Amino acid sequence: MENIAIGIGLAVGIAGLGVGIGQGLAANGGLQGMARQPEAGKQINNSMLLALVFLELVFLLTFVLGFLLMGKIH
């Protein structure tokens, strides 16, 4: 039972770390693209926001899965 709790903690922590790095890289790429081509800023912004949403979804699904597995412990 304790292994499940440790696994949940590790999963959420690693997912948070990965999402943070991914969002930083996505924002960096989007901002550099907008700086190089200001006329394409709106399209780049929309694509960047869509990528950020998908990255955040990965973390939220990991978080929800952790809560569902916590119900299995008790």
Q: Tell me the domain boundaries of the chain.
A: 2-69
What value does the mean pLDDT take over residues 48-65?
94
Which CATH architecture group holds 2-69? Up-down Bundle (1.20)
Look at residue 74 in the predicted model and tell me its pLDDT.
Answer: 62
Look at residue 67 in the predicted model and tell me its pLDDT.
Answer: 86
Share of residues in the chain with pLDDT > 70 (%): 96
Burial environment of residue 68 by CB neighbours within 10 A (0 to 12, 13 to 18, 19 or more): exposed
Confidence of residue 19 (pLDDT cuts 50, 70, 90): very high
Look at residue 26 in the predicted model and tell me its pLDDT.
Answer: 95
